[in-house]
Amino acid sequence: MRLLIERVLVNATADTSGLYSQAIKSNGLLFISGQVGIDKNGELIGHDIATQTNQVMKNLKATLKAAGCTFDDVIKISVFLVNLDDRPKFHEVRKKYFTEGQPASTLLVVKSLANKDYLVEVEAVAQLPT
């Protein structure tokens, strides 16, 4: 049985140039590709964890909205940090967006991300509204 999938296009985030989908709807779930601290023009916003995390959350919010979801619908996030010492500041910003409850979460510390200036990346899974 083939799964039905629908690609979600998000005008408020950077163009992926066909390299991957910004998000996919499948079987009542929304799978959001990893978001980094760049704006819709592809420009890095900030060189500190708090500023980049805020931009990551703005990108997640735009993607959720494009699929008819909010942060309340997020059931799982995966967080990639390049420095474990950034964890407290990341969580400070995260709390401003996830206010009604906390999704299941995995945090990984990695050597680097796709660009040497990226400090954080977050991917998410959300439950689509019925």
Reported as a single tens digit per residue, the pLDDT across 89-98 is 999 999 999 9
* Structural domains of the chain in order of their starting residue, each with its CATH number: 5-127 (3.30.1330.40)
In angstroms, the CA 28 to CA 15 distance is 25
Share of the chain above pLDDT 90, in %: 77
- Longest Cα pair distance anywhere in the chain, in angstroms? 46
> CA distances (Å), 96 to each of 5, 18, 90, in order?
31, 32, 10
120-127 and 104-109 strand pairing: unpaired
- Residue 16 DSSP SS3: coil
Mean pLDDT of the chain: 92
Tokens of 57: 């959350």
Q: What is the pTM of this model?
A: 0.91
Average pLDDT over residues 96-108: 93
C-alpha count within 13 angstroms, C-beta hemisphere, residue 100: 6
Question: What pLDDT, on the 0 to 100 scale, is given for residue 16?
Answer: 60
- Residue 40 DSSP SS3: coil
Taking the alpha carbons of 89, 93, 98, 100 in that order, is the dihedral positive or negative? positive
Helix 49-66 and helix 87-97: axis angle, to 10°? 30
**Sequential DSSP letters for 10-67:** -TTS---TTSS-SEEEETTEEEEEEE-SB-TTS-B--SSHHHHHHHHHHHHHHHHHHT
Summarize pLDDT for 22-57 with one digit per residue, the tens.
999 999 999 999 999 999 999 999 999 999 999 999
